[in-house]
Structures are given as C-alpha cells and as structure tokens.
C-alpha cells in the first residue's frame, strides 16, 4: 500500500481510493479490531514473545493466543523466529505502532465519542437519546443511564 504524498492518506485527496486499497485498509483495521489481538500487538512492541509468554501475561487461553497470533501473522503484522522447538514472535512492521499512536491521538481528540457510538461503542448499558436538542440541533444524551430506563 502506498500513501498519497499530498494528503498522506491511503485513499487520496478526494477520499475515493480504488477498491483494492480500501479493501486492504479494511482488512488491516479489522485485524487490529479485536481486544486480544490489539493487546498482543502492544505486548510485541516491547519485544519478542512466545505464545506461552503471551498466555501468561495476557491471561488468555493458549488456543486463543495461538489463533490470534496466526491471524496477525497471516495479515503480515507478526513474524515468527524459530529457536529449537520454540517460536518467538515479534512485530513484522514497526509502523503498526505509528498507526496505534495516531489512533491514540485521534481518541484523545474525540474523547468518548467512539465509545458512545451505538454501532461500535463499548458502553451498551447506556441509553443514548437520539432526539434533537431544540437549542443546538445536536443529538442529546438521555437522562437515564441504565438500559432499563425509558427515554423521556
């Protein structure tokens, strides 16, 4: 994947990249969209690790870690280095950490907006009132905070 030098964006200045570029970007972001895979990538940014190391550090089952490492390896984000009967995994591309740093900057700028997103957010117990506030024409947060509270 190459970046457009003028806009520094994979999709070009108009936002209409070719389908293969968009599909590749979707696949990349999807590979990082799982909590366990993201934790593995962050851990591997500190250096090599075996599956058994990741299992102990992340508190996940060996089969879970193995499956996620295989996914990251298949996506070209992680590589394995055999040593005897062991396999040591590391990041294949350190640029992935630049991507995560950019994501953290964006999250800082947007605050909790992503967390509150009804489609992808993590706060499913919070009721979001989608009525338009008459004063500023913006969606408002409902009075209730539990999923059982009825909107007013």
Say yes or no to pLDDT of 122 above 80: no
pLDDT at 144: 40
| DSSP, res 91 | E
Q: Which two tokens stand for residue 23?
A: 């599909």
**Average pLDDT in the 98-103 region?**
92
pLDDT tens for residues 17-76?
Answer: 567 889 999 999 999 999 999 999 999 999 999 999 999 999 999 999 999 999 999 999
HSE-up (13 A, CA, CB side) for residue 99: 17
Question: What pairs with residue 83 in β-bridges?
Answer: 86
Count of domains observed in the chain:
2
Q: What's 91's domain CATH number? A: 1.10.10.10
pLDDT at 108: 87
147 falls within a domain: yes
Tell me which residue range forms the domain holding 38: 32-95
Are 88 and 132 contained in the same domain?
Answer: no
102 falls within a domain: no
88 falls within a domain: yes
d(CA 128, CA 124): 9
Return the higher-pLDDT residue of 104 and 112.
Answer: 104
pLDDT at 114: 78
152 falls within a domain: yes
55 falls within a domain: yes
């Amino acid at each position: 994947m190459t970046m457009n030098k003028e806009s520094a964006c994979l999709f070009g200045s108009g936002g209409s990249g070719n389908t293969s570029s968009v599909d590749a970007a979707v696949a990349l972001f999807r590979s990082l969209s799982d909590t366990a895979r993201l934790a593995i990538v962050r851990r591997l940014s500190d250096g090599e690790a075996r599956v058994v190391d990741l299992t102990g550090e992340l508190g996940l089952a060996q089969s879970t870690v193995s499956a996620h490492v295989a996914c990251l390896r298949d996506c070209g984000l992680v590589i394995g280095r055999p040593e005897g009967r062991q396999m040591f995994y590391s990041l294949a591309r350190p640029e992935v950490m630049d991507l995560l740093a950019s994501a953290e900057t964006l999250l800082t700028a947007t605050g909790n907006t992503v967390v509150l997103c009804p489609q992808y957010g993590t706060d499913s117990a919070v009721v979001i009132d989608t009525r338009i506030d008459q004063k500023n024409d913006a969606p408002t947060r409902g009075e209730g905070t539990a999923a059982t509270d009825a909107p007013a």
